Amino acid sequence: MSMRVAIDVGGTFTDVVRLDGGVVIHDKVPTTPGDVTAGIMAGLDRLGPSAAAGVELLVHGTTVALNALLQGNTPPVGLVTTAGFRDVLEIGRTSRPVMYDLQQLAAEPLVPRRRRYEIGARMAADGTELAPVDPAEVRALAARMLADGVKAVAVCLLNGYADPSHEHRVAELIAEAAPGVPVTCSVDLSREWREFERTSTVAVNAATLPVLGGYLDRLEDRLAGAGFGGRLMIMQSSGGVMSVADARSRPVATLMSGPVGGVVGAQAISAALGGADLITVDIGGTSADVAVIDGGRPVHAEVGRMGHWPLLVPMVDIRSIGAGGGSLARIDPHGALLVGPESAGAVPGPACYGRGGTRATVTDANVVLGRITPGRFMDGEMPLDVSAAREAVLRDVAEPLGIGLERAAEGIVKLMDSITSRLLREVLTERGYDPRRFSLLAFGGGGGLHACSMAHEAGLARAIVPPNPGTLSAYGILQADIRHDRRVMVLREADGLGDDELEAAFAAVAAELGAGASGMACVLGADVRYVGQSSTVPVPVPHLGEGAVARLVDAFHREHLRLYGVSREEHPVEVIRIRVAVVEATPGIAPVPEPASRGPVTLEGGAHERADLVPRDVLLGPALVEEPGATTWVAEGWRAEVDDHRNLVLERVAA
């Protein structure tokens, strides 16, 4: 067995990428919302008869836990916490999500107050026991939870990060008193301070644990029935993959499982381009996902966020909005055109799909404008109904506004581009980046259709559309490394922290994660701030030993200057936490330069097969570049050149 397969389930299509005998093959099948495992098996069936039996490694990106969380389809959760801290989930940070909206309402906590239970056990911030765990008290709470219909339990005790023994003891007692009810301890997910974020994280994990567990059971059963005997791994939000067993216990680590695959694929493209700085946009059927590759590495979030819930788990910083090919276009009661966030999804889908959808979408608008060729969509396997697309855009947008059909379609596309480009600008400027440094890497089924306009409106240098952009997320998942992350509090001023102490702290965490095993490597970092600051700055730690603390402080000053335009070398610095990632590298399949089969040519206008283009070919817009699963629109006044890795590099040449 030598075949490796990656499967990414999206809102509209399920992407399949396989590596077989050194050859990478890309494919797509429709997602089956009622039971996504059916779409996965359909994707595997396209590999050939009994192909599942020949797969050595299957890596899966899934949004099952995320969708259940966002849709409110999670089972009743009970939260056990320290007396006096029952309302942490509601109090939160007391910040206003929208600063000047006087009508906004606080988000409903994931665990309602009636299912939040207090106990008297208590730890001090330094790990000193102030009050022990009372077994009788915990057993009584377990009985109450069963009576209240609790299906999963989260345990988060004050200062648990300083000493995990209380949380683990409470979990043991609940497991004895309520067998079969899964229990999650916050200390097994995060060894960090910030009580609200810790509580939010463990509540989300407990809520999604039964959901993902049930899904993985169904998936494993179907795979076994198809003869699969290889290794199944799950993509996690940090950019690495983990075992099914880890995913069952830590579903919170899988929430961005699908979108992060595209960032890993983008990282490989950045490496092939010499560490190019990229801002990525993945436009699928339901959303647009944006991330940053800085100096060849994805930017991670200090505190992740999913909807209203902050999460203290390692996550690539991905911002998402409801703007994709299936986003619905409509006129609001005041006569304004709106696009998204509601989506037609996979079923019924855009009107042009012919699956029962009747409402106008972004995809329908692109069909009306001739930017998607009906007979060549999905390599001709999925014919499009142009008449249905025109009827939907006419009825939903053109007639209410009293304008022509093409103008209405153009308005839908321009609004879509405006929404996504605004997110691109926000992501870069809030991190202190100059947009002119970055190229836009546009992928997903719709990325290439909107690349020129998004790059121009966001002030970016150029746009790049990689080969097979519709399956880049699955391509990234296929080559993601096995990765285990942990962040641990240090809380020491740098002046009082010795090089040997710093090295010992890193070594202890690395040993917990299994570092030292054959093929495992460590990636080290620290979160640092000036004394008195609230937020921290992540700083890589490439070398330990003599002078490590001084190098860390110097690197922090430089990064603080880059981010905020100021540094205070005379001000004391403190190391808040250290970060360790233990990585087992997966054999890479990074793109390599390909020799051209002929001399370059310059083409003007028309529609072109991407497979027919060779490095140094140039297309002058307006033009279409078509390939299975995606189309790139080269706008008027733009040129597209094929580089040595067969990327389309789009640049504006005329006002």
pLDDT at residue number 592: 66
| Separation between Cα atoms, residue 248 and residue 212, nearest integer Å | 7
Cα–Cα distances in angstroms (integers) from residue 488 to residues 85, 298, 424, in the given order:
23, 21, 32
pLDDT band at 381 (very low <50, low <70, confident <90, very high): confident
Whether residue 428 contacts residue 279, with contact meaning beta carbons closer than 8 Å, is answered with yes
pLDDT at residue number 102: 80
pLDDT at residue number 654: 67
State the Cα torsion 454-460-461-467 to the nearest 10°.
Answer: -50
**Average pLDDT, stretch 168-183?**
96
Which pLDDT tens digit goes with each residue over 618-647? Answer: 999 899 999 988 999 999 999 999 999 999
> Is pLDDT above 60 for 655?
no
User: What length does the chain have?
Assistant: 655
pLDDT at residue number 590: 60
pLDDT at residue number 591: 65
> Residues 6 or more apart from 90 whose CB is under 8 A from it?
106, 109, 113
Whether residue 304 contacts residue 204, with contact meaning beta carbons closer than 8 Å, is answered with no
Whether residue 56 contacts residue 18, with contact meaning beta carbons closer than 8 Å, is answered with no
> Is pLDDT above 80 for 177?
yes
Contacts 24+ apart (CB under 8 A), 372-381: 372/449, 372/631, 373/607, 373/624, 373/626, 373/631, 376/626, 378/28, 378/628, 378/629, 379/628, 379/629
What residues does 440 pair with on adjacent strands? Answer: 279, 463
Query: What share of the chain has pLDDT > 70, as a percent?
Result: 98
* Phi, psi values for residue 565, rounded to 5°: 80, 10
**Average pLDDT, stretch 398-424?**
96
Whether residue 11 contacts residue 282, with contact meaning beta carbons closer than 8 Å, is answered with no
Which of 138-152, 300-314, 553-567, 586-600 is predicted least confidently? 586-600
pLDDT band at 88 (very low <50, low <70, confident <90, very high): very high
Q: How many CB atoms lie within 10 A of CB 503?
A: 17
| Separation between Cα atoms, residue 564 and residue 2, nearest integer Å | 49
> Residues 6 or more apart from 634 whose CB is under 8 A from it?
452, 619, 620, 621, 622, 623, 624, 625, 640, 650
Q: What pTM was estimated for this model as a whole? A: 0.90
* Phi, psi values for residue 581, rounded to 5°: -120, 125
Which pLDDT tens digit goes with each residue over 183-205? Answer: 999 999 999 888 999 999 999 99
Residue type, 417: D
Residue 130: both structure tokens together: 């102030």
Q: How many CB atoms lie within 10 A of CB 207?
A: 27
pLDDT band at 1 (very low <50, low <70, confident <90, very high): very low
Closest CA to 316 of 304, 300, 294, 297: 300
Describe the chain by its helix, strand, coil percentages, rounded to 5.
Answer: 35, 25, 35
Closest CA to 278 of 262, 295, 261, 264: 295
pLDDT band at 60 (very low <50, low <70, confident <90, very high): very high
Chain Cα centroid distance, residue 406? 35
Which of 68-72, 195-199, 229-233, 404-408 is predicted least confidently? 68-72
In angstroms, what is the C-alpha Rg of the chain?
26
pLDDT at residue number 170: 97
Which pLDDT tens digit goes with each residue over 94-112? Answer: 777 777 888 877 778 999 9
| Separation between Cα atoms, residue 158 and residue 193, nearest integer Å | 9
Burial of 404 (0-12, 13-18, 19+ CB in 10 A): exposed
Please name the residue ranges forming H helices in 459-606. Answer: 472-478, 499-512, 548-564
> Is pLDDT above 90 for 330?
yes
* Phi, psi values for residue 120, rounded to 5°: -85, -15
- Taken in order 532, 533, 538, 542, the sign of the CA dihedral is negative
Q: What is the mean pLDDT of the chain?
A: 91
Tell me which architecture the domain covering 73-209 has in CATH.
Answer: 3-Layer(aba) Sandwich (3.40)
Which pLDDT tens digit goes with each residue over 13-41? Answer: 889 999 887 788 888 888 888 888 998 99
pLDDT at residue number 400: 96
CATH of region 3-68+212-254 = 3.30.420.40
Which pLDDT tens digit goes with each residue over 487-529? Answer: 999 999 999 999 999 999 999 999 988 887 666 888 999 999 9
Closest CA to 88 of 198, 205, 190: 198
Tell me the DSSP string of 450-474: HHHHHHHHHT-SEEEE-SSGGGHHH
Helix (H) or strand (E) holding 634: strand 630-634
